Amino acid sequence: MTADAWLTALVVVLILVALVLELASPSVLVFTGVVVLLLLDVLDAQGALSGFSNPAPFTVGALFVVARAVSKTGAIRPLTRSLLGETGSVRRPLLRMLVPTTFASGFMNNIPLVAMMIPEVSAWARKRGSDVSRFLLPLSYAAILGGLLTIIGTSTNLVVAGQMSGAGLESFGFFELGLVGLPIVIIGVPLVIAMAPKVLGKTRPKRPGIEDAKDFFIEMEVEPGGPLDGRTVDEAGLRHLQGVFLVSVDRQDAVIAPATPTTVLKGRDHLRFAGRVDQVLDLESIRGLRQAEHDEVSEVATVGASYFTVAIGGDSPLVGQTLKQAGFRSQYQAAVVAIHRAGERIDAKLGEVPLRIGDALVVVSDAAFKARWQNRSDFLLVAELDDETDPVAPGRGRTLAVLLTMILLAATGVVPVLHAALGAAIMMIVLRVLTPDEARRALDLEVLGVIAAAFGLAAAVERSGLADVMADGIISAFSAFGGVGVVLGVVLATVALTELVTNNAAALLMFPIAIAAAPAAGVDPRGMAVAVAISASAAFLTPIGYQTNTMVYGPGGYRISHYLKAGLPLTALVVVAIAAIVPAVYG
């Protein structure tokens, strides 16, 4: 290995470690790595900034705008409401939901698609008394599978297509990925329907999760010198509260638990109550009690306040911070009254809990909270807790017309995908479906930043010779199995990488390695590009492997074991299908 290859390998490893440890946002880490390689003369300016002149980030950005218009107008909501129906226990509703979801995901961004359907599916399950966990993870998996069908199915497909010109290859055809993706979908969707009732929803009799997320712990403080100071719990009228009960009394370094009727309350005692979020205002009406930690809830929980659940994604600036450190109330004009993690409610002082990817927070705020934050990277999902879904804006017909025109023009090759996507995004503004500000806020700058910066990182992997070294390693390890073995090695490496870091970064890092390994595999480099695109998108094993997996993690009350049990068969299917089909089609 050359010195440049060693330096590149060191930077890549440090970035991967930092991503796994969540030391900073992915875009910051990847861009920092590119800058370091530029300063070390491993990359020139053109290579470091190659992602900013590539069509891929602009195409993905335009599709974000189109997807926002679809979400705002509820263009596909009539379909989602009729999917689940009223008959069948689990498998029949899953069939009605997953097949259209898979198809729709092939032609629009799957993140807003899943975001639109989570409240619908949760409300349907709640009304029927069904376990929502049997539906939300299959919904995410169906969206991922649908992304394997077309070039616009996922941003990862577009990222790999953007790399192909640099390798002397023509970009993917609109349906080319479907040569491998369609067989996976045909087997994968029935597999999900068959597995869901068996591996999901059986670990607990009733999940204290988001579909019943009004369960909470909250701390109130006894006002010094107030009407409750010096009185017993019984005298204060705190024994038989409706909807909530007193769990403990925290007094400096002592905790009185359980609190008895004769426990004497003192000023500045912290009283921990458990019960229902919708009883918060009744609790605060008791004279002599005030919200602990600077009265956060009472400042926002006024008449007409709404309760929301928000999911923390990998791009959120809240990851690794506590609510106090983030200044949550002042930053978001909202107060957190519960944190759910891996299907369990956290019993701790909420202001001191470091937030993690996949955490679901129950917040109280004004009715405009969702409109302010639903298109920001702070929260991957924002949904109201009540049964009613959000009203939709006018313009459904215009939105569908623009969407279908974009798909038709790109699919038939009349115009390139970039032109079709940019044209559709502009038309959404011209036709007043979106305002310019809404279109700007629809852009996920974190995702676009990762894509643009990762192109520079991929250029360093290729130009330093690290790609050839890694390809030789894969060939040595898997050459005993022939060309199929080399393809298998590339796929396994990509699958492992995409579960640890973002799928776009994984695809960009593996692309030059796969191209270098193509001759030994006896496969057209184009086929290796297909293998990387599909295996990087097929992230089923963890909540952080793909954004839709993270979105359903909290609302579904899942644990890592659910992803492993449901995702391993799908991952095995993808690996075997790619290793079998790619050499046959592109040999």
The share of the chain scoring above pLDDT 70, in percent, equals 86
What integer is the mean pLDDT of 119-124? 78
pLDDT tens sequence across 220-230: 888 888 889 99
Q: Around 461, how many Cα atoms within 13 Å sit in the side-chain half-sphere?
A: 25
> Which of 124, 118, 84 is closest to 100 using CA atoms?
84
Q: What does the block give as tokens for 578?
A: 């790619």
- 466 burial level (CB within 10 Å; 0-12, 13-18, 19+): buried
**What separation in angstroms does the CA of 124 have from each of 82, 85, 130, 577?**
11, 9, 8, 35
Task: Domain 214-300: give its CATH architecture.
Answer: 2-Layer Sandwich (3.30)
What integer is the mean pLDDT of 89-105? 86
Instruction: Give me the pLDDT at residue 257, please.
Output: 67
Instruction: Give me the pLDDT at residue 191, please.
Output: 94
Kind plus residue range of the DSSP H or E element containing 445: helix 445-463
Q: Around 103, how many Cα atoms within 13 Å sit in the side-chain half-sphere?
A: 8
Q: What CATH number is given for 306-384 in this structure?
A: 3.30.70.1450
Residues 520 and 499: their CA atoms lie apart, in Å, by 26
For residue 201, give the DSSP letter: S
Instruction: Give me the pLDDT at residue 54, please.
Output: 83
What integer is the mean pLDDT of 28-55? 88
Instruction: Give me the pLDDT at residue 534, please.
Output: 94
What integer is the mean pLDDT of 563-578? 92
Q: What sign results for the dihedral spanned by CA atoms 92, 94, 97, 99? A: negative
Contacts of residues 406-415 at CB distance under 8 Å and 24 or more positions apart, as own/partner, are 406/66, 407/107, 407/152, 410/151, 410/152, 410/174, 411/150, 411/174, 411/175, 412/174, 413/173, 413/174
What single letter denotes the amino acid at residue 417? V
Residues 200 and 185: their CA atoms lie apart, in Å, by 20
> Which of 296, 259, 305 is closest to 278 using CA atoms?
305
Residue with tokens 């949550």: 328
What integer is the mean pLDDT of 437-457? 83
pLDDT tens sequence across 175-219: 999 999 999 999 999 999 998 888 886 544 333 333 344 455 677
Instruction: Give me the pLDDT at residue 77, please.
Output: 64
What single letter denotes the amino acid at residue 399? T
Q: What mean pLDDT is reported for the chain? A: 81
Instruction: Give me the pLDDT at residue 569, please.
Output: 94
> Do 306-384 and 214-300 have the same topology in CATH?
yes
DSSP 34-93: HHHHHHTTSS-HHHHTGGGGSHHHHHHHHHHHHHHHHHHHTTTHHHHHHHS-S--SSHHH
Query: Is the pLDDT higher at 365 or at 270?
Result: 270
pLDDT tens sequence across 377-388: 788 778 776 544
Residues 427 and 417: their CA atoms lie apart, in Å, by 15
What integer is the mean pLDDT of 238-256? 74
Q: What does the block give as tokens for 214?
A: 């009004």
Q: 10 Å Cβ neighbour count for 367?
A: 11
Residues 546 and 240: their CA atoms lie apart, in Å, by 46
Number of continuous H segments (helices) and E segments (strands) in the chain: 25, 10
Residues 4 and 6: their CA atoms lie apart, in Å, by 5
Q: Hey, is 288 helix, strand or coil? A: coil
The model's pTM: 0.72
Contact between residue 489 and residue 477 where contact means Cβ atoms under 8 Å apart? yes
pLDDT tens sequence across 493-544: 999 888 777 788 888 888 999 999 989 888 899 999 999 999 998 889 887 7
Cβ contacts of 251 within 8 Å, gap of 6 or more = 266, 269, 270
What integer is the mean pLDDT of 289-299? 57
Domain boundaries, the chain: 55-205+418-443+465-586, 214-300, 306-384
Instruction: Give me the pLDDT at residue 211, please.
Output: 38
Backbone conformation region of residue 482, classed left if phi is above 0, alpha if psi is from -120 to 50, else beta: left
Cβ contacts of 52 within 8 Å, gap of 6 or more = 452, 455
Q: 10 Å Cβ neighbour count for 404?
A: 12
